[in-house]
Chains A and B, each alone.
Chain A
Amino acid sequence: MEYFLIIISAIFVNNIVLAQFLGICPFLGVSGKLSTSTGMSMAVCFVITLATVVTWLLNHYLLVPFGLEFLQTIAFILVIAALVQMVEIVLKKVSPSLYQALGIFLPLITTNCAVLGVAITVVTKEFTLGGSAPHMFGLAESAVYAFATSLGYGLAMVLFSGIREHLALSDVPKPFKGLPIALISVSIMAMAFLGFSGIV
């Protein structure tokens, strides 16, 4: 039950893009076409889940026991950067077809603040879900939260790229062309997502 609540909360209620403002740059950058946005979503999904598990372990077994929590930021970003590189190398060897699909997005992910944001959130924030007592997430909960969050990222991205494909064809006043109208569309999407608030 708790996992179910985590998933609903992360995908809809606290959607990472529309409510938490993380990962906006790639969200705006590659959402022009449906195909690229699915590719990016899958790459993000993979990296966020993996990075959160690794950084959670790093934090729990290395930083906390030695009282080095103040190194969180620097340690996490290095782990994420190294991880992204490794994923890229492994993917290239193991599955060239998947690499073809995700490869170009991977370097962009290091500076996607969604990855670092989720990794830091799960080790610093207390969660309450469905009236349960506030507590820090364990490893399994963190992994589920990270995975669900990235699904929420994918959902927002795919929905938005659908809208953008239509926007590209419509007659928009000149100063609104491109980013401004995109931002205003996101705003309306975010308003729609506000409707989910409070269900968990």
Chain B
Amino acid sequence: MAAKSNITGMALCLFLVCLVCGGVLGAVYTVTKQPIEDAAAAEALAAISEVLPEGGEISSVQQAGGMEYYTSTSGDEVKAYAVKSTAGGFGGPITIMVGVLPDGSIWNTRVLSHSETPGLGAKCTTDEAFISQWKGYNGSFTVKKDGGDVDAITASTITSRAYAKALAQASALVHSLEGADADAASGASVKKEEE
């Protein structure tokens, strides 16, 4: 058996190592906390402004129906919503920032994260034909294979379905938000639809 002083020595040594390391980590954490938050905020803002029409004040994050969303307002009027929507794809969750107009139609989309197969499902971030069909889209959110009007990515129907599902969720969320708004100030959403 090791001598008692030896055990004290070991304990003391480990304790000191942990103490110093803890101190270093605490310090680094304090220094990098702000930049990390800034980086995350900048990334979110870049995604939001990409999917929304230009101009308008972007709100801070809000929660509804289990999803995060941001609004873009000019004056008192909400001009568009940016909804962070997630659906299960082929390789895991696909998270998409979806810009939705008050009438529920899609303005633009951007994939925030996905784990789809490279060269197949992962094309949802690069396939121009697939991405551009969403601009101004307001249809059934169903791929053609299932009897809808969405052109799926070649050989990646599951990814395309998930993409459409995420967008449908975002659109539905905006409908329900607008519905709630319309109850509060009736006629407002009708007016927006005309724009």
Given contacts A128-B87, A128-B88, A197-B117, contact A134 B25 (CB under 8 A): no
Please tell me if the beta carbons of A126 and B90 are within 8 angstroms of each other in the complex.
no
Q: Is B86 an interface residue (CB 8 A)?
A: yes
Q: Which residues of A contact B95 (CB under 8 A)?
A: 134
B interface secondary structure, majority: mixed
Tell me how many residues of B have a C-beta within 8 Å of chain A. 15
Q: Which residues of A contact B86 (CB under 8 A)?
A: 126, 128, 133-134
Please tell me if the beta carbons of B88 and A129 are within 8 angstroms of each other in the complex.
yes
A166, chain B: closest CB distance, angstroms? 31
| Complex Cα gap A74–B21 (Å) | 10
Q: Which residues of A contact B90 (CB under 8 A)?
A: 197-198
Tell me how many residues of A have a C-beta within 8 Å of chain B. 15
Please tell me if the beta carbons of B117 and A127 are within 8 angstroms of each other in the complex.
no
| Complex Cα gap A124–B66 (Å) | 18
Q: Is A95 an interface residue (CB 8 A)?
A: no
Please tell me if the beta carbons of B25 and A128 are within 8 angstroms of each other in the complex.
no
A interface secondary structure, majority: loop
A58, chain B: closest CB distance, angstroms? 16
Partner among B29, B88, B158 whose Cβ is within 8 Å of the Cβ of A134 = B88
Q: Is B93 an interface residue (CB 8 A)?
A: yes
Given contacts A70-B29, A74-B25, A198-B158, contact A131 B91 (CB under 8 A): no
A20, chain B: closest CB distance, angstroms? 11
Q: Is A71 an interface residue (CB 8 A)?
A: yes
Q: Is B92 an interface residue (CB 8 A)?
A: yes
Please tell me if the beta carbons of B158 and A128 are within 8 angstroms of each other in the complex.
no
Please tell me if the beta carbons of A128 and B92 are within 8 angstroms of each other in the complex.
yes
B25, chain A: closest CB distance, angstroms? 7
Looking at A71, A130, A134, A198, which has the most chain B CB atoms within 10 Å of its CB?
A134
Q: Is A97 an interface residue (CB 8 A)?
A: no
| Complex Cα gap A71–B85 (Å) | 29
Please tell me if the beta carbons of B93 and A127 are within 8 angstroms of each other in the complex.
yes
Of the A-B pairs whose beta carbons lie under 8 Å apart in the complex, a sample of 30, sorted by A's number, is A70-B29, A71-B25, A74-B21, A74-B25, A125-B92, A126-B86, A126-B92, A126-B93, A127-B92, A127-B93, A128-B86, A128-B87, A128-B88, A128-B89, A128-B92, A128-B93, A129-B88, A130-B88, A131-B88, A132-B88, A133-B66, A134-B87, A134-B88, A134-B93, A134-B95, A197-B90, A197-B91, A197-B117, A198-B90, A198-B158
Q: Which 9 A-B pairs have the closest CB atoms?
A: A128-B88, A134-B93, A134-B86, A128-B93, A126-B93, A70-B29, A131-B88, A198-B90, A128-B92
